Amino acid sequence: MALPGFILFTGILLLIVSIVYQRNALTAVSYSRYFSTKAAYEGDRIEMVEEIINDKLLPLPWLRLESSIARGIEFGRQENLGIHTGEIYQNHISLFYLRSYRHIKRRHLVTCERRGFYRLESVTMTTGDLFGMSSKVKTFPLQLELLVYPMILDMSELPLPIHSWLGELPVKRWIVEDPFLTAGIREYSSGDSMGLVNWKATARTGMMQVHKKDYTADSRLVIGLNVEISDSMWRTVTDIERIELGVRYAATIGEYALQHGIEIRFICNGKLEDSEFREPVISAAISGLEELLELLSKLTLERTLPMSRLLELQAENGESDSDFLIITCHRGHELQIAAEQLLQQGNGVEWLDIPEQEGDFV
């Protein structure tokens, strides 16, 4: 009778343990995950931090966390972290043991291999008793986002002869004197209008002083990125590496222009990752480099309309007195006709050809 009694007692005990874990295993368990920075550049190494808390007496002999994120950020190999990579997404599985009232913080080293906008919206947590008789599953919502900016190249890496054209842009900017901008005072010169006289400064110095007018931008730069490989391409981009180089060109030129005080806009016949509609990217004036890099990070290489049509829309909207830089893999007939239309409206047009890539994209 002793053995059957022991077996019965053990079975009842295991059943009780199973019921306790089924009801309470994930009670008072909290989880959070975050990156060490909200934005990084291609090639940067950052940390992803996981924090999990078991704020109760009941220990968790095993706990499994599973999540999925788009490829493009590479996780270093680490104990208790499993990585299964697919064509588009990679699954991460973390294993924990949590004692009573335990707080664990785990750091994972991450390499940002490719430009993009990475989001993790949820993580699935599974746990149970030591004997595997019961398990409990819960999904934790997350709002984890990471922007990976395109790499900014050295100006010498841009194809010739774009360097000389870029060098002329800051010079063109300082041509037209703006009567509404004042940059201080100066002594009166022959030919100055009496309307420019600053009488208070004249009385103070005893010499005729006039307002010194500042200068304004006579031209704006519109950076246009074409995601088409050829003028016959449809929706899908077939040479991603080549267009990614074009994205880097756009970032490099944008940084140069902003550093020299040139107003820029960005247009592209791709689409933005978080856009509700399938429409091209047409930005307003961009105030700083971070704004441009965020746009480029969220850019999806999916053609929304022909680049020639996007340029036609700029002409139809009355765009004038702007310099268009078209970053493209081809100069098809329709594209050149659209560029000529912009020229006829008083705009400048320059081409930056994206060269074919040899070998793998780095």
pLDDT at 86: 63
Is the bond into 161 cis (omega within 30 degrees of 0)?
A: yes
Q: Is the pLDDT assigned to residue 177 strictly greater than 60?
A: no
Select the more confidently predicted residue: 12 or 157: 157
* DSSP, residue by residue, 228-293: -SSTT--SB-S-HHHHHHHHHHHHHHHHHHHHTT--EEEEESSEETT-SS---EE---B-SHHHHH
Domain boundary residue, one of 195, 216, 237 = 216
Do 102 and 139 reside in the same domain of the chain? yes
Q: Tokens 């680490």 appear where? A: 78
Overall average pLDDT of the 238-256 stretch: 95
pLDDT at 79: 58
> What would the two tokens of residue 264 be?
């820029």
Between 33-42, 271-280, 310-319, the lowest mean confidence (pLDDT) is in 271-280
Do 118 and 212 reside in the same domain of the chain? no
Domain contains 6: no
For 170, phi and psi rounded to 5 degrees? -60, -30
- Could you tell me the pTM of the whole model? 0.79
pLDDT at 189: 67
Do 68 and 133 reside in the same domain of the chain? yes
Q: Is the pLDDT assigned to residue 283 strictly greater than 70?
A: yes
pLDDT at 253: 96
What confidence category does residue 176 fall into, taking pLDDT thresholds of 50, 70 and 90? very low
Q: Which helix (H) or strand (E) holds 5?
A: helix 2-24
What confidence category does residue 51 fall into, taking pLDDT thresholds of 50, 70 and 90? very high
Which CATH number does the domain housing residue 308 bear?
3.40.50.410
Do 165 and 225 reside in the same domain of the chain? yes
Q: Which domain holds residue 139?
A: 26-149
Select the more confidently predicted residue: 2 or 103: 103
Do 167 and 181 reside in the same domain of the chain? no
Q: Give 216's contacts (C-beta < 8 A, 6+ positions apart).
A: 176, 177, 178, 181
Overall average pLDDT of the 37-46 stretch: 96
pLDDT at 362: 39
230, 260 in Cβ contact below 8 A?
no
314-331 tens-digit pLDDT: 999 999 889 999 999 999
Domain contains 44: yes
119-161 tens-digit pLDDT: 988 899 999 887 777 788 999 888 899 999 999 999 989 987 8
pLDDT at 23: 83
Q: Is the pLDDT assigned to residue 1 strictly greater than 80?
A: no
Domain contains 90: yes
Do 65 and 90 reside in the same domain of the chain? yes
Do 209 and 320 reside in the same domain of the chain? no
Domain contains 239: yes
pLDDT at 184: 60
Domain contains 52: yes
Q: Which amino acid is at 167?
A: G
pLDDT at 361: 43
Q: What is the mean pLDDT of the chain?
A: 84
Overall average pLDDT of the 51-78 stretch: 88
Q: Is the pLDDT assigned to residue 337 strictly greater than 60?
A: yes
Do 277 and 208 reside in the same domain of the chain? no
Do 61 and 192 reside in the same domain of the chain? no
193-237 tens-digit pLDDT: 665 677 776 777 777 776 555 444 456 899 999 999 988 887 788
Do 307 and 330 reside in the same domain of the chain? yes
Overall average pLDDT of the 229-252 stretch: 91
Do 204 and 226 reside in the same domain of the chain? no
Q: Which amino acid is at 135?
A: S
pLDDT at 318: 92
> What would the two tokens of residue 108 be?
């994972």
Domain contains 333: yes
Domain boundary residue, one of 110, 134, 149 = 149
Q: Is the pLDDT assigned to residue 178 strictly greater than 70?
A: no
97-114 tens-digit pLDDT: 999 999 999 898 999 999
Domain boundary residue, one of 216, 245, 269 = 216
What is the C-alpha to C-alpha distance for residues 256 and 355, in angstroms, rounded to an integer? 21
Domain contains 8: no
Rg (CA), the chain: 30
What is the C-alpha to C-alpha distance for residues 13 and 16, in angstroms, rounded to an integer? 5
What is the C-alpha to C-alpha distance for residues 133 and 136, in angstroms, rounded to an integer? 11
What is the C-alpha to C-alpha distance for residues 55 and 353, in angstroms, rounded to an integer? 59
Which CATH number does the domain housing residue 117 bear?
2.60.40.1530
Strand, coil or helix: what is 224? Answer: strand
Do 298 and 331 reside in the same domain of the chain? yes
Number of domains in the chain: 3
56, 64 in Cβ contact below 8 A?
no
pLDDT at 24: 82
What is the C-alpha to C-alpha distance for residues 163 and 168, in angstroms, rounded to an integer? 9
Q: Is the pLDDT assigned to residue 181 strictly greater than 60?
A: no
Domain contains 1: no
